[in-house]
Amino acid sequence: MLWPRDVLRADFLNLSHHFNAQRSIVRVPDLDPKYKISVLASKQDHCLFDLLYRWQEGRLPVDITCVISNHDRPKDNHVRRFLGRHGIPYHYLPTTPGNKREQEILELVQDTDFVVLARYMQIMSESFLKAYGKDIINIHHGLLPSFKGGNPSRQAFNAGVKLIGATSHFVTPELDAGPIIEQMVERVSHRDTLQSFVVKSENLEKQCLAEAIKSYCELRVVPYELKKTVVF
């Protein structure tokens, strides 16, 4: 069936008017420039190193401009060695309750397309979010029911939960309440040890974050109604 150009144009204009769309974007992954991102992480390495590995393997259409952390990793650490081999800068910015180093972080990420929080255990202020002005994607455990504070995996394990999960979402001023991009869950049971429980939880976090980034880069994530998304 032929779709004449003038009919195609009229159809898309009708769509744009219906949804009040101002512009459309089409990306061709093999031709378009990769997204420039910065990754922020704290002490835990599992999400950070998984992203680095996927980047090295060409599984994510991104270029990592730098890694920023409030945790000091020695130069012989596996993350630091990886970054050194690939020429990716590592910035250690220790934080305190009174100084989150947000201005310095802002200067480091200002030329990026979006930012990834790979288990960065700091709350980004509303002023930082406004100053950056672009999307920030976060990952956190989705243990059910919710366990707050330190060692959530141990708390959930001791409570005998049967279902664990992970959630990746956009960062907003309201803590952990931004539009959800991806969620994953897995069964656990009395057969699990604390170690196997933690491994399952961390694997979910890695997969969930990577899938959220991939969907976002492929323009398959459409936010709507403030706190919701459509993921194609």
Q: Which of 11, 72, 176, 192 is catalytic?
A: 176
Is residue 119 packed enough to be buried (19+ CB in 10 Å), middle (13-18) or exposed (0-12)?
buried
Q: Are strands 136-141 and 163-170 parallel, antiparallel or unpaired?
A: antiparallel
Alpha-carbon span 192 to 91, nearest angstrom: 37
C-beta of residue 6 within 8 angstroms of C-beta of residue 32: no
Helix, strand, coil content of the chain in percent (nearest 5) = 35, 25, 40
**Distances, alpha carbon 137 to alpha carbons 19, 57, 127, 167, 195, in Å:** 25, 21, 17, 10, 27
DSSP 18: H
The answer to whether residue 176 is catalytic is yes
DSSP 33: P
Amino acid code (one letter) for 133: G
* Positions marked active-site: 176
